[in-house]
C-alpha cells in the first residue's frame, strides 16, 4: 500500500499536501481501495468554509457512499473539476490527478492531530 512521506494523513484516511497557506487534499490509497470503483464525486463549493472534521463532500462507489472530511479548518479555494467527468481518477491516481480540493488554511488551524507517513501506516496495519 503506497503511503507518501511528503504528506500528512487524517484518521479518516484523507491525505494533506501543504504548500504555504494552502493544502491540497484527497483520499488515501487505502481509502479508495476500501471504497471500490468510484463512480461519482460530489465536490465542495469554492468559497465554502469548514471547521476541522466537518464533512465537505461525498464519494460514491460501487459499494457505498462515503463522506470526505476537512482535515483542517479553512476555505475551499479550488476543486478538481476533472473528477466530475472522470471520477475513477480517485482510484487510479489517488495521490496525483485524483486530488479532490485545495484549502486555504484558517490562520488558527493546527495540524497536531495529523499523522506522518509512519504513523498512518501503523494505523491502517493495526
Backbone angles phi, psi at 34, to 5 degrees: -65, -35
Kindly report, residue by residue over 103-126, the tens digit of the pLDDT: 999 876 677 789 999 999 999 998
Of the candidate CATH numbers 2.40.50.100, 2.60.120.1440, 3.40.720.10, 3.40.50.1820, the domain formed by 8-109 belongs to 2.40.50.100
Distance between CA atoms of residues 29 and 94, nearest Å = 6
Q: What is the pLDDT of residue 115?
A: 95
* Cβ-contact 56, 70 below 8 angstroms: yes
Domain ranges, ordered by start, for the chain: 8-109
- Entry pTM: 0.93
pLDDT greater than 80 at residue 52 = yes
9 vs 111: CA distance, rounded Å: 10
Q: pLDDT tens digit string along 10-41?
A: 999 999 999 999 999 999 999 999 999 999 99
Distance CA(55)–CA(70), nearest Å, equals 6
Amino acid at each position: 500500500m503506497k503511503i507518501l512521506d511528503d504528506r500528512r494523513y487524517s484518521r479518516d484516511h484523507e491525505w494533506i499536501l501543504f504548500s504555504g497557506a494552502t493544502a491540497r487534499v484527497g483520499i488515501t490509497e487505502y481509502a479508495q481501495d476500501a471504497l471500490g470503483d468510484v463512480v461519482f464525486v460530489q465536490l465542495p463549493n469554492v468559497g465554502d468554509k469548514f471547521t476541522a472534521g466537518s464533512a465537505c463532500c461525498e464519494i460514491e462507489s460501487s459499494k457505498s457512499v462515503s463522506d470526505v472530511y476537512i482535515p483542517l479548518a479553512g476555505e475551499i479555494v479550488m476543486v478538481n473539476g476533472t473528477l466530475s467527468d472522470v471520477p475513477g481518477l480517485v482510484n487510479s491516481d489517488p495521490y496525483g490527478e485524483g486530488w479532490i480540493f485545495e484549502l486555504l488554511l484558517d490562520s488558527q488551524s493546527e495540524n497536531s492531530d495529523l499523522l506522518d507517513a509512519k504513523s498512518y501506516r501503523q494505523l491502517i496495519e493495526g
